[in-house]
Amino acid sequence: MGAVMSIEEIVGSLDSGMTIGIGGWGSRRKPMALVRAICRSPLTGLTVVSYGGPDVGLLCAAGKVRRVIAPFVTLDSIALEPHFRAARQSGAVEFTEYDEGMFMFGLLAGAHRLPFLPTRAGLGSDVMRVVPGLRTVRSPYEDGEELVAVPALTTDAALVHLDLADTRGNGRYLGPDPYMDDLFVKAAGRAYLSCERMVEPGELDGPPQTLLVSRMHVTGVVETPAGGHFTDRGPGHERDEAFQRHYAASAADPKAWAAFADRFLSGDEAAYQEAVRRWHEQDRDRDHDREEAR
Amino acid sequence: MSGSSAATRAEICVVACAEAWRGDGEVLAAAMGTCSVLGARLARLTFEPDLLTTDGGALLTAEPVALGAPAGAVEGWLPFREHLWLVQNGRRHVMMGASQIDRHGNTNISAIGDWARPKSQLLGVRGAPGNTIANPTSYWIPRHSTRVFVPEVDVVSGVGFDRAAALGPRASRFHGLRRVVTDLAVLDFGTPDRSMRLVSVHPGVEVERVVAATGFELVIEGEVSETRQPSDEELRLIREVLDPKGLRGREVRA
Would you list the DSSP string of chain B? --SPPPPPHHHHHHHHHHGGGTT--SSEEEE-SHHHHHHHHHHHHTT-TT-B-BSSSSEEESS---TT----SEEEE--HHHHHHHHHH--EEEEE--SEE-TT--EE-SEES-TTS-SEE-S--TTHHHHHHHSEEEEEESS--TTTB-SS-SS--B--HHHHHHT-TTTTTT-EEEEEEESSEEEE--STT---EEEEE-TT--HHHHHHT-SSPPB--SSPEEPPPPPHHHHHIIIIII-TT-THHHHS--
Residue of A nearest to B89 (CA): A120
**Residue B2 pLDDT greater than 50, yes or no:** no
Q: Does domain A1-241 have CATH number 3.30.420.40?
A: no
Distance CA B100, CA B105 (A): 9
Q: Which of residues 134-163 of A touch B (CB under 8 A)?
A: 143-146
Tens-digit pLDDT profile for residues B52-77: 999 999 999 999 999 999 999 999 99
How many angstroms separate the CA atoms of A39 and B161, rounded?
45
Predicted local confidence at residue A95, as pLDDT: 98
Query: Domains of chain B, with CATH numbers?
Result: 9-251 (3.40.1080.10)
How distant, in Å, are the alpha carbons of A173, A211, A217, A271, B253 from that of A207? 10, 8, 20, 35, 46
- B185-208: b (≥16 Cβ within 10 Å) or e: bbbbbeeeebbbbbbbbbeebebe
Q: Using the predicted structure, report yes or no on whether residue B3 has a pLDDT greater than 90.
A: no
Whether B202 contacts B16, CB under 8 Å: yes
Q: Which among A91, A123, A144 has the least Cβ separation from residue B117?
A: A91
Mean pLDDT computed over B193-206 = 98
Distance (Å, whole) CA A137 – CA B219? 38
Q: A53 by DSSP, 3-state: which?
A: coil
Chain B interface disruption, residue of A67, A123, A209, most B CBs within 10 A: A123
- Which chain A residue lies closest to B154 (C-alpha atoms)? A126
How many C-beta neighbours within 10 Å does residue B136 have? 21
How far, CA to CA in Å, does B113 sit from each of B58, B64, B122, B167, B231?
34, 39, 11, 25, 43
Q: Does B170 touch chain A (CB under 8 A)?
A: yes
- pLDDT at residue A59 in the model: 98
Residue A103, burial from CB neighbour count under 10 angstroms (0-12, 13-18, 19+): buried
Whether A80 sits inside 8 A of B79 (CB atoms) is no
How confident is the model at residue B5, as a pLDDT? Answer: 86
Confidence check: pLDDT of A287 > 90: no
Domain map of chain A by residue range?
A: 1-241, 242-293
pLDDT digits (tens, 9 = 90+) for B118-130: 999 999 999 999 9
For B133, name the nearest residue in chain A, comparing CA atoms only: A121
Cβ of B130 within 8 Å of Cβ of A102? The answer is yes
**Confidence grade of residue B113 (pLDDT, cut at 50, 70, 90):** very high
pLDDT of amino acid A286: 74
Element (H, E) at A265: none
* Beta pairing class for A155-166 and A171-172: antiparallel
Contact state of B87 with A52 under an 8 Å Cβ cutoff: no
pLDDT at A234: 83
pLDDT at A284: 78
Angle at A27 between CA A21 and CA A29, to 5 degrees: 65
Portion of chain B with pLDDT greater than 90, in percent: 97
Distance from chain centroid for Cα A223? 17
Which letter, b or e, does each residue of A266-292 get, where b requires 16 or more Cβ atoms within 10 Å of its Cβ? eeebeebbebbeebeeeeeeeeeeeee
Amino acid in the structure at residue B32 = M
Reported pTM: 0.96
Span A207-234, pLDDT tens digits:
999 999 999 999 999 999 999 999 999 8
Closest alpha carbon to A223 in A255, A252, A204, A196: A196
Residue A119: half-sphere exposure toward Cβ, Cα within 13 Å: 33
pLDDT in tens, A232-286: 998 889 999 999 999 999 999 999 999 999 999 999 999 999 999 999 999 877 7
Q: For the segment A15-51, what is each residue's pLDDT rounded down to a tens digit?
A: 999 999 999 999 999 999 999 999 999 999 999 999 9
Out of A73, A120, A126, whose CB is closest to B156?
A126
Q: Looking at beta carbons, which residues of chain A come within 8 Å of B107? A: none
Pairing of strands A211-213, A171-172: antiparallel
Nearest to A100 among B115, B130, B170 (CB): B130
Task: Determine the Cα–Cα distance for residues A217 and A219; give it in Å rounded to an integer.
Answer: 7
Predicted ipTM beyond 0.90: yes
- A267: which DSSP letter? S
Cβ of B121 within 8 Å of Cβ of A25? The answer is no
Tell me whether B70 touches chain A (CB under 8 Å).
no
Contact B120 A180 (CB under 8 A): no
Residues B178/B196, Cβ–Cβ less than 8 Å: no
Over residues B128-165, the pLDDT tens digits come to 999 999 999 999 999 999 999 999 999 999 999 999 99
How far does chain A reach from its first CA to its final CA, in angstroms?
59
Query: What is residue A72's DSSP assignment?
Result: -
- How much is the mean pLDDT over chain A? 96
For the residues A175-186, what does the mean pLDDT come to?
97
What pLDDT does A292 receive? Answer: 63
CA A215 to chain centre: 20
Taking only the tens place, the pLDDT of each residue in B205-219 is 999 999 999 999 999
Check if A25 contacts B (Cβ < 8 Å): yes
Residue A155's pLDDT is 98
Q: Which of the 8 DSSP states describes residue A41?
A: S
CA dist., res. A80 & res. A266, Å (int): 25
Residue B89 reports pLDDT greater than 70: yes
pLDDT at B1: 44
Chain B residues whose beta carbon lies within 8 Å of the beta carbon of residue A174: none
Over residues A95-102, the mean pLDDT reads 98
Q: For chain B, give the mean pLDDT.
A: 97
CA gap B21, B230 in Å, rounded: 16
Average pLDDT for A83-87: 98
